[in-house]
Amino acid sequence: MKSDSEGHKSSSKIQIHKGKILLKPRSWVNLGYSIANSEKETFFLKNAIPGETVDTVLLKRSGSLFWGVASEIQEVSSERISSDCSIFPRCGGCSYRHVSYQKELEIKKFLLQETLEHFLSKKHIQIPEIEILSGDPNGYRNTAQIQLGFAGNQRLAGFYEEFSHSIVNLPEEGCKNLPQEMNFAFAEFLKQEVKGSKQILKSKTLSFRLEGTKVISYKKKSVSFSENIRIPELKKIVWEIPAGGFSQVNRYLIAPWLEKIFELVPNNQNRILELYCGSGLIAIALKSKTTSWLGYEISSDCVQQAKRNVLLNGISSCDFKTLNLETDWIDSEEVLNSSFWIMNPPRAGLSKKVLQTLIKTSPNGFLYSSCNHSTLVRDLSLFLNKDYKLSNVTLVDFFPRTKHFEVIVKVEKKD
């Protein structure tokens, strides 16, 4: 695959074909797009494969940057497949249903590799071979939020179009990313509306969460989970999430993700410091790595749930505290007594205060799990120096067929 920089020199005048812009994308770029250039403009294209020639419908403009979707393919790539979803590419939920899942993984690995090299090559940081964790690309989500609306008297229920708040109705068979139980529950909700349910009529969204094989309301009820994971022996762990609380959305990859984290964290740590700890899931899985665990989280509900979750698993030597990591400093004594850090921040990445504390404290190592590889690599570029090495990079495809993926990196001091 060509990198963005390798193909940047090729550009041409805009051609018009049947009233649409005719473009030839040259490379994959982040967020599920391929990129094409004219003499003065840059185009980010959905549903287009590098090397193809496509008729393009433009959706958004910002200066000389344009975003659009390929509506007709004039020259077809051998990598193109027929989409298994009748509303792709109109629906904004998926980005890669025009290529095989294996090809999608190759693209995501390429994009991660390119981002790492762009930020870290100037600092002469050696990048290890990227590992990939993936599972079934269909029916994987354990949460869903369906948008509701009307077009005249017609009920609309589905997901938004790209760069729009126009709702694309889901097909009768439902969404490919949702398990059958969720698609069935969604259909039943709509049947109840036909019978006159005011609850549905007044709602703008339907929010579901999967608990085993049972579909429940996302915001009105806490939910219980259990997984068998090898840490290192096969062990069952259980945890609960408060109503509306965050959980990893891919039901097939929670156990492999935890097992990978367990594999990467060194044994016999005097204390592990976990930032953005959520409801304590990682602590439950990795408690055998240390005699003392301290987690910080902004949500007091999640902190209380984390304390309950460790007790559910017979663990007593974990502590969790409420702290806004964007605005508040971590207690210096607690930081100094922590030999290894685990961080799982939101998409915005680490706060300035966390980064400054990390740089000042210089722990023996840390694990960073992120759903935004751009902010992850940005943070790494600010921290990594001659005393540290990047010892593992793992791409975890929590979000098959979409533009998103998770990344785990391990950083440790050099010998």
Q: Is 385 annotated as a binding residue?
A: no
* 3 state SS of 97: coil
For the chain, what is the largest distance between any 2 Cα atoms, rounded to a whole number of angstroms? 69
Q: Is 297 annotated as a binding residue?
A: yes
Q: Is 277 annotated as a binding residue?
A: no
Contact of 109 with 395, CB cutoff 8 Å: yes
Q: Is 106 annotated as a binding residue?
A: no
Characterize the bridge pairing of strands 340-343 and 388-396.
unpaired
The 3-state DSSP composition of the chain as helix, strand, coil percent (nearest 5) reads 25, 35, 40
Residue 318 annotated among the catalytic residues of the structure: no
Helix ranges restricted to H, 265-350: 281-286, 300-312, 332-336
User: Rounded to whole angstroms, how far apart are CA atoms 110 and 395?
Assistant: 11
Characterize the bridge pairing of strands 205-211 and 214-217.
antiparallel
Cα separations (Å) of 46 from 41, 54, 71? 16, 11, 9
Q: Is 302 annotated as a binding residue?
A: no
Candidate list 277, 302, 318, 371, residue with the active-site label: 371
C-alpha of 298 from chain center: 20
Q: Which two tokens stand for residue 330?
A: 């971590």
Whether omega before 232 lies within 30 degrees of 0, making that bond cis, reads yes
Contact of 252 with 136, CB cutoff 8 Å: yes
Q: Is 263 annotated as a binding residue?
A: no
Residues in CB range of 45: below 8 A, 6 or more apart: 23, 25, 33, 34, 35, 36, 54, 56, 67, 68, 69, 70
* 3 state SS of 65: strand
Q: Which two tokens stand for residue 22?
A: 């005719």
User: Rounded to whole angstroms, how far apart are CA atoms 59 and 66?
Assistant: 8
CA pseudo-torsion sign 334, 339, 344, 349: positive
Q: Where are the beta strands (DSSP E) in 187-290?
A: 205-211, 214-217, 223-230, 234-241, 272-275
Please tell me what DSSP assigns to residue 7.
T
Q: Is 175 annotated as a binding residue?
A: yes
Q: Is 96 annotated as a binding residue?
A: no
Other beta carbons less than 10 A from residue 241's beta carbon: 23
Q: Which two tokens stand for residue 387?
A: 């005393």
- Residues annotated in a binding site: 85, 91, 94, 175, 248, 276, 297, 344
Could you tell me which residues are annotated as the binding site for S-adenosyl-L-methionine? 248, 276, 297, 344
Residue ranges of the binding site for [4Fe-4S] cluster: 85, 91, 94, 175
Catalytic residues: 371
